[in-house]
Amino acid sequence: MELRQKLILASGSPRRLDLLKQAGIEPARLMPMDLDETPKKSEHPRSLARRLSAEKARACYDQIRSDLQWNDSYIIAADTVVAVGRRILPKAEYLEEASSALHLLSGRSHWVFTGVCLITPEGITRQKVAETKVRFKRLSSHEIESYLASGQWRGKAGAYAIQGIAGCFPQKLVGSYTNVVGLPLFETMQMLSGEGFDVQTGWTEG
């Protein structure tokens, strides 16, 4: 049986794109979905990550299912949520937000949840949520101010990007590192291969 290898990444995240390429997969198309990501009242961080990834994947599927060029594609969508307990930290857009988040994370543990949703060409939906526990060292005021000056916090859940300068901050990480970057590769590859996508196709070209 010939495998259909067309994959759409329903995200504009360079980090997620890089992670897929690291796994040997080159998406045929990027389709960022601009949705309201506001948590519902009392929504658990894990539930938020699961819901938003599903909504992004479904929105992408609805856009392409009547397009003969793309309706035989697999769709992957993801959403990453950073939380301290049940408190969800926003994707920081303002300096004050980022400063508040970094002071909160300093010297304590937090959770990173990434929901991943796959929709197959047949419309079958598969979902997983990966979780990673991260403990930050105690950050000095100078470290926080210097990191804020770097600008690497902007638009990031929890106001940090672990693949950048903030990779110096964790004392301990339990779970998937790629989950914290934005796309848990183990879970993503498991879902794709389980639904007939040959994830090893691009390995010989790497």
Tell me the C-alpha distance between 182 and 193, whole Å: 20
* Residues 99/38, Cβ–Cβ less than 8 Å: no
Residue 72 burial (CB count, 10 A): 14
Catalytic residue among 18, 34, 72, 79: 79
User: Do the beta carbons of residue 28 and residue 73 sit within 8 Å?
Assistant: yes
Q: What is the DSSP letter of 108?
A: S
Q: Is 173 helix (H, G, I), strand (E, B) or coil?
A: strand
Say how many C-beta atoms besides its own lie within 10 A of residue 113's C-beta. Answer: 25
Active site residue 72: no
Beta strands in 25-174 (DSSP E): 29-30, 74-84, 87-89, 109-119, 125-136, 170-174
Which of the residues are catalytic?
Answer: 79
